[in-house]
Amino acid sequence: MLRIENLNKSFGEKQVLKDINLDINKGEIVMITGESGVGKTTLIRCLCGLENYDSGRVEYLNDDKGNGDNSIGLVSQSFDLFPHFNVMKNITYPLMKVKNNKKTEAINKAKDLVGFLGLNGLEDNYAYQLSGGQKQRVAIARALAMEPNYICFDEPTSALDYKLRDNVGQLIKTVASRGMGVIVITHDREFANKYANRIFELGA
Amino acid sequence: MDYIIEVLPFLLDGFKTTLWVFGVTAIFSIPLGLIVCLLRLSKIKVISLLMQVYILVMRGTPLLLQITFIFFGLPILGIVLNRELATAIAFILNYAAYFAEIFRGGINSIDKGQFEAAKVLKLSKSTTYFGIIFPQVFKTVFPSLGNELITLVKDTSLVYILGLGDILRAARTLSNKDASLIPLFIAGSMYLVFIGILTLILRRVESKFEYYR
Ligand SMILES: Nc1ncnc2c1ncn2[C@@H]1O[C@H](COP(=O)(O)OP(=O)(O)O)[C@@H](O)[C@H]1O
Ligand SMILES: [Mg+2]
């Protein structure tokens, strides 16, 4: 379980996160909603170690699965694919460098993910040759490849065609069903109601 | 024509000096520039400040003065260098400062998201820099790097201050001796050909980076 306890975060004088308390279980989809500028992105940046917080705790608690592993993935709003790597290498590079996978091993995992995310035929493309939705799926594949226990999505529907919304929703459900804790920022209420196990309203 | 054949060996001999000063400086100052740039970006204030001072001095004073100082000034501190070594050190230190600033601009131009994606994926610092950041930096700074290299070709003529015989010095000597502009004209042509070739090579390398945007 990922436990956020009394989390406080300010930028200068401005307090953005005030005493946030939130638990996220593995296999669960928690959607974070709230108005623009309320601190949703800041909250998940704190979880991912991209932002320091002033006080409080982010804890990875042991549970049945057991290791208190602090692994977490992020699919940011800008996707941040590595532009000098093709789709395949975006996925395999961290596997080889961080997980010390052999090249063939990494390629096999990446191929599975390419299939899972419907990226077939785009393996050799570079980011500039992909649509927004495709870039997002590559970012998801890259994050999933690392097999984190938790994964965060920052506004996964905002860059997408309305019709693709449900594809992302289904994808998120599948990811959660694999046992990952999923944290999703959205300001789409309908989307949240449809796919969340729990909705966490931030602010006001 | 006879005259050209007569002076050509002298000019080519001078050109050798031009070439080695260019080559040695290019080979050593680019990696050194990268190191200086990283130290300049260091979170340790003293190191960063030291690098800023170094860059300021190198860019803020004439190269001619730096060459002179290294050759004539360092012996006062007990460091005696021969002309070639003094020249090489001055050029490398000077150009490294310019390259450092070019690299810094390049690193700053890289989207913060690249660093953050690498961090969340738990790539190590060195993997992040060597695998993700530098390759992109090289693409963006390459035109400026090339520009600097072309300037370097012409700057090599400053070695005359230590009595080294580069092509321009050879041409001027011949020109004075024979009261002819032809040696200068040949020297100019040789610069032009050399820079022409360099430009082609730079363009070739640049096109290697064009596979992505
Ligand atoms: N690096 C930063 N420096 C200063 N202020 C920031 C920084 N990042 C975010 N903020 C401010 O914090 C508030 C919350 O931002 P953010 O978490 O991006 O909101 P949300 O994702 O809910 O729209 C905003 O007012 C924003 O301007
Ligand atoms: Mg946001």
Contact B111 A74 (CB under 8 A): no
The single-letter DSSP state of residue A20 is E
When pLDDT is averaged across residues B128-144 and rounded to a whole number, the result is: 96
Nearest to A82 by CA among A139, A148, A13: A139
- Report chain A's mean pLDDT, rounded to a whole number: 93
Give domain status of residue A32, yes or no: yes
Domain of A193? 1-71+151-204
* Tokens linked to A146: 């690392």
* pTM attached to this predicted model: 0.90
> Which CATH number fits the domain that encloses residue B88?
1.10.3720.10
State the pLDDT at residue A65: 53
Cα atoms in the 13 Å half-sphere on the side-chain side of B101: 14
When pLDDT is averaged across residues A29-52 and rounded to a whole number, the result is: 95
Q: Which residues of A43-62 are buried (b: 16+ CB within 10 A; e: fewer)?
A: bbbbbbebbebeebebebee
User: A86-115 pLDDT, tens per residue?
Assistant: 999 999 999 999 999 999 999 999 999 999
User: B179-195 pLDDT, tens per residue?
Assistant: 999 999 999 999 999 99
Contacts of A74 in chain B (CB under 8 A): 117, 120
| Burial class of B172 by CB neighbour count within 10 A (0 to 12, 13 to 18, 19+) | middle
* Tokens linked to B50: 């030291």
A90 and A139 together in one domain: yes
A64 and A91 together in one domain: no
A136 and A160 together in one domain: no
A133 and A155 together in one domain: no
State the pLDDT at residue A187: 85
Give domain status of residue A81, yes or no: no
A163 and A130 together in one domain: no
Lowest-confidence pick of A70-74, A150-154, B30-34, B42-46? A70-74
A1 and A63 together in one domain: yes
Lowest-confidence pick of A156-160, A170-174, B22-26, B45-49? A156-160
Separation CA B44–CA B51 (nearest Å): 11
Domain of B62? 2-212
A173 and A129 together in one domain: no
A52 touches chain B (CB under 8 A): no
Check whether A159 has a pLDDT greater than 80: no
Nearest to A89 by CA among A132, A128, A138: A138
Ligand 2 midpoint to CA B96 (Å): 41
A106 and A17 together in one domain: no
Give domain status of residue A58, yes or no: yes
Per the listing, tokens 């170690």 go with A49
A109 and A158 together in one domain: no
State what percent of residues in chain A have pLDDT above 70: 96
Nearest to B40 by CA among B30, B49, B27: B49
A51 and A115 together in one domain: no
**ipTM higher than the 0.85 cut:** yes
- Is A42 a pocket residue for ligand 1 (Cβ < 6 Å)? yes
Ligand 2 midpoint to CA A146 (Å): 24
